[in-house]
Structure 1
Amino acid sequence: MIHVFGAINLDLIAKSDCFAPNTSTPSEISLSLGGVGFNVYRAIRTREKRFVTALGEGMAADLVRGQLSEDIAFLKKVPGIDCGVYLAFMEKGNLLLGAASTRAFEIGLNEETLDEALLSVKKGDLAVLEANILPGPLSHLLERLSLLEVPVLFETVSCEKAARSSACLRDLKLVTPTFEEMEALLAPLSPTDENIFSFLKERNIENLVVTLGKQGSIWYRAEGKREIKPHRVLSLPDSTGAGDYFLAMLATGLSEESRSFESVLYSAVAEVEVFLSARS
């Protein structure tokens, strides 16, 4: 069983070749269900999966709740706060500006809620966590999962959330930061190979995959590092969700006990290229 502990939001994405400052820019604007945790959960390719989240009350929350399927296994209701919203401005396929409001999730996924959700987690399962979880509950959750001997995959989400989560991270199967999020994890140290390897050793992290967008990714583990280049570079108006899809493919592969991490990683990279090419 794969347990995903993460947020669900409304995603509002504006796309343009160029946003003009101090005025409104004609854009293609999409509205959809999103959130790092929900995106990962939705893309995982196994029926043996479970989503743990929290959702507020209000106009946006009602819209989200009306779109959810009945297989959301654990939904904490948070009164008085509306659903989270992610707002992004994509300029020529790159994130120009982004903002997120996840208060309902942050408040709802407290230690008491997590303890209740953890009753269904057992040794041999796999957990996916993301940095929208506040540091206190995150530390509590990681400690409990370590005691249960459940491998954990962690998504850093953003620079600010990576920074606030950094002190909590230890005993992990995988962390998947961007280069900028890696800087935030290590601050005030710089993200040199030496500092990254020290981080892995000190925190007992098996694998760390730094994603570099069109430049590919770098896989770090105790044995060394390996650069992974994309087979082709795509020009897209919107690459939103690619990182979440990547983590979902990794989780899917790692839930198959017979597969090595290397095999799973290269397969996930190929799957993301297919995912992105469908948008080109």
Structure 2
Amino acid sequence: MPIETTETVAAAHAELDTLDPLAMARCFIAAQQGAVAAALAAGDRIGAAAAAAVPRLRRGGRLLYFGAGTSGRLALLDAVELVPTFSWPAQRAIATLAGGPGAVHQAVEGAEDDAAQAEHDLMALSPTADDVVIGVAASGRTPYAMAVLRAARPLGALTIAIVNNPGAPMLALAEHGIVLDTGAEVIAGSTRLKAGTAQKIALNTLSSCIMVQLEKVYGNLMVDLKATNAKLVARATDLVVRLTGSDTPTAERTLQACALEVKTAVVALRCGLDPVDARARLSGRGGSLRRALRDPL
């Protein structure tokens, strides 16, 4: 059985509790550099998983995240943030935690060991071959996450495993295995530290790569944001001004007429179209602002 590096006791930190608060803080922060290094080393695998996911999502598939404890909460955070950032439908980014919704705020003992419940939770979502199932577990052997991947693969869903231990059994259950080899933690076994940070980086990178490929970004601008508060409406207005060269009042009026859709407002102003025709032009080009502005009328 492979050594679980996330459970290894780091000799370098054996005197952790004797450090003064400043030295202790520096120790914890310095250790986080290992999370970045681990994510960089897994970059090609993350990119390959994103590339494999995009065709399924273009066909209407969903991102289905599963995990327990810290891993599950990080997966939930990634799913939730896709809605305001990219206007991704909430029903197409679903995170399920071992132990249910209550596990977000409080540990549910034994939930991560319940393989039968894991399969039940997956099947309750009626997964299809167009769905992307992402299992996240630092150890890479959490029964809940393993059961989800084991059940999802025969259904034809794309399966992705994100783990922190090389050789973890979850890797054999997924088409795309992503290893974030963060090694021993400053506090032995506390994977909410750099293992969790590496998972956050990997999840951010995976979903962001997917959304860029799905035409949710123009250049590096967040043109598909959901403007649900004053700050985001101001950001949306600034984007319209930047991309059209219009004055702020014109951008504000057009944005409001286009239901606060930045891409629609930009096409309307740049192509001289009303909101209905601008939206249709975008739709006919797969939601791509670049193609909507580039292709002949």
TM-score strictly above 0.5: no
Q: TM-score range by the shorter chain?
A: 0.3 to 0.5
- Using CA pairs under 8 Å that are at least 6 residues apart, name the structure with larger relative contact order, 1 or 2: 2
Name the structure with the higher strand share.
Answer: 1
Normalised by the length of structure 2, the TM-score is: 0.36
**Structure label with greater radius of gyration:** 2
